[in-house]
Amino acid sequence: MRNEIYGHFHPDERQFVDKAWEWVSHAGDYHEVKLTEFLDPRQGYILQTLVNRHPDVTIRWEGGSESAERKRALVAPDYRDLSEEDMELKVLGISSGEQKFLTLEHGDYMGAILGLGVKRGKIGDIHVLEDGCHVVVASDIADYLSMNLTGVHRVNVSTEVLPLSELRSSGVKLETMDITVASLRLDGIAADVTRLSRSKILVPIKAGRVRVNWKVEEDPSCALKDGDMVSIQGFGRFKVLEIGGLTKKDRYRVRLGKFV
């Protein structure tokens, strides 16, 4: 059974597959309930796939908003009603009176929070607002963050812990760019986005630091398509918005959106 499951996922994902299957099998066979940390969409896909394979297990997802990318899951026996269960989420509100505060970006907040020694799995989506920032966090670290997060990228900040009902979500901000490429290969498009040479972009790809749709992709020749989400550790993320027609020189017109 385990080997059959492995066949559907990347070898690098086996550790998470093992963990997820344990949650599912314990819920179905031993009537245990598991509240996970925040999972990214790829981990969510894996867990949901495994739940679908077990007829006696149900699952609930919550990330604070309908469009949440990172969510916690509650895995339980199928006879449990999970609609009223506490998903143990809080909102960390961050504000400041300094003018530079308004220029802070998603990565600045993430870096400051992780710099406090907090695990990534404790942090959900970060919503950068016009007048502040709302971060969805696990309830058990909300007070710790509120007491210890006093600065973000050399800007003094103040914080407050809010209920999930007071979350203000922000829309995704993309900086669009139009390029022409000889092919739709991952390495070629990623090189243009990061402004690295083709040889240099191979380093993070071969090292497993590039994900396509949240799945590790080590093949530089992987062809990208409309809607693909690409993340490169250390260089951020971009989305393939549109693959257009060919130029007179038979190059592909591609519109991309870089997350800012």
The whole-number average pLDDT for the span 179-205 is 95
Contact 199, 239 (CB under 8 A): no
Distance of alpha carbon 197 from alpha carbon 193, whole angstroms? 10
Rg of the chain over all Cα atoms, to the nearest angstrom = 20
Least confident piece of the model among 1-15, 28-42, 141-155 = 1-15
Residue 233 has pLDDT above 90, yes or no: no
CA-to-CA separations, 83 to 62, 86, 201, in angstroms, rounded: 11, 9, 45
CA 182 from centre of chain: 30
Q: What per-residue confidence (pLDDT) applies to 34?
A: 98
Residue 1's pLDDT is 60
Residue 6 has pLDDT above 90, yes or no: no
Out of 67-71, 86-90, 103-107, 186-190, pick the least confident: 103-107
In this predicted structure, which of 28-37, 144-153, 208-217 has the lowest mean pLDDT? 208-217
Mean pLDDT of the chain: 93
Q: What is the mean pLDDT of residues 128-144?
A: 96
Angle in degrees, CA 27, 29, 30, rounded to 5: 70
Among 115, 117, 102, 59, CA closest to 83: 59
The stretches of the chain forming alpha helices (DSSP H) are 2-6, 14-30, 41-52, 106-114, 139-148, 186-194, 198-206
Reported as a pLDDT band with limits 50, 70 and 90, residue 2 is low
Residue 18 has pLDDT above 90, yes or no: yes
pLDDT, residue 214, reads: 86
Q: Would strands 252-259 and 89-95 be described as parallel, antiparallel, or unpaired?
A: unpaired
Q: Report residue 104: phi and psi, to 5°.
A: -70, 145
DSSP-derived secondary structure for 80-91: S--TT----EEE
Average pLDDT over residues 190-194: 95
Q: Which of 125, 141, 144 is nearest to 133 (CA)?
A: 125
Strand order in the sheet with 72-77: 34-35, 72-77, 57-62
Predicted local confidence at residue 11, as pLDDT: 83
CA distance 143 to 49: 34
Q: What is the rounded average pLDDT of the residues 18-28?
A: 96
CA-CA distance, 129 to 107, in Å (whole number)? 14
pLDDT band at 234 (very low <50, low <70, confident <90, very high): confident
Contact (Cβ atoms closer than 8 angstroms) between residue 108 and residue 152: yes
H/E segment holding residue 93: strand 89-95
Q: Which domains does the chain have, with CATH numbers?
A: 2-77 (3.30.1370.160), 89-166 (3.30.70.330), 174-259 (3.10.290.10)
If you average pLDDT over residues 124-133, what whole number do you get? Answer: 93
Query: What share of the chain in percent tops pLDDT 90?
Result: 83
The reported pLDDT for the residue numbered 215 is 86
> For 207-220, what is the mean pLDDT?
92
pLDDT tens for 77-109 read 999 999 999 999 999 999 999 988 888 988 899
Would the pLDDT of 3 be above 70? no
Cβ proximity of 71 and 44 under 8 Å: yes
Alpha-carbon span 118 to 142, nearest angstrom: 11
